Amino acid sequence: MDGSIDTGATGPGRGVLTQEIWLVLGLSLGASALYALLSLAQSLSSGQSLHSQTAVINASATSNSALDLTYQLVGVAVTLVPVLLVVHLLHRSGESMGSIGLDRAEPGRELGWGAALAAVIGGAGLALYLASYHAGLELNVVPTNLPPSWWRIPVLALQAFQDGLLEEVVICGYLLHRLRQLNWSDNRSLLTSAVLRGSYHLYQGFGGFAGNLVMGLIFGRLYQRQNRLARLVVAHTLIDAGAFIGYVLLKGRVSWLPGSW
């Protein structure tokens, strides 16, 4: 495959596409970036060092187990609405999810690529987190405080898939696809996408921003060259599942992880 992307030449004009991009980001990860920036500003203004503060990713909503499960499932469903919006917008412009490389072609190859990427990026990401934390640039990131209920592991796996699907569809596939249709250069588009990816992780600290910026540069360039999104969704899902479920399994059993770990 030559990595070319269908430009949808007969689709919406530049003005419509620009408005569409702002609306999609404003309803999803663009808004998350603003909240993450405010969260970091609050952490910095607290007078405490970053690594003495805690950021919980998948937080429990209530002490009632059945109600908490409902909260978690509703949260996943609502979070994935922007993905459905992207599906709608692509179809409206005469395209499909295949236009951004998310289809069922060669599932074995996509799984293999995804697993390999997850191993490399996940391992490097953990090392960067530990280095940033001990350098005082990162909060103590707790992957979850969900109660030890029967549904905790399945919900964490579902949340990992939610993160992988949302972020890769919106920030990598959709955004890079639309920016190419607007005749942005690949380098400019890549940097924009990667900075945005890093920005909505600022609530974790500067290490979270840097690590996800690098991940965005790698994932974005792979997408631009291969036009394959499924493998990136797989990789992201595996990385997050490893962090979320690994935390549950390792908590209290290892000494080399920081803070509440």
Q: Is residue 32 part of a domain?
A: yes
* In a domain? residue 144: yes
Condensed to tens digits (0 to 9), the pLDDT of residues 119-149 reads: 999 999 888 888 888 888 899 999 999 999 9
Tell me, yes or no, whether 102 lies in a domain.
Answer: no
Q: Binning pLDDT at 50, 70 and 90, where does residue 259 land?
A: low
pLDDT at 100 exceeding the cut of 80: yes
* Burial class of 185 by CB neighbour count within 10 A (0 to 12, 13 to 18, 19+): exposed
- DSSP assignment string, 49-85: -GGGSEEEEE----S-HHHHHHHHHHHHHHHTHHHHH
Q: What is the pTM of this model?
A: 0.91
41-78 tens-digit pLDDT: 999 999 999 989 999 999 999 889 999 999 999 999 99
pLDDT over threshold 60, residue 261: no
Residue partners of 162: CB distance under 8 A and separation at least 6: 76, 79, 80
**Confidence (pLDDT) at 9:** 45
> What CA–CA distance (Å, rounded) separates 185 from 179?
8
Q: What are the tokens at 25? A: 């980001």
Residue 143 falls within a domain, yes or no?
Answer: yes
User: In terms of residue numbers, what domain contains 78?
Assistant: 14-47+54-97+107-250
Q: Which is more confident, 190 or 105? A: 190
When divided into structural domains, the chain yields a total of: 1
pLDDT in tens, 81-94: 999 999 999 999 99
Per-residue pLDDT at 7? 44
- Give domain status of residue 255, yes or no: no
**pLDDT exceeds 90 at position 155:** yes
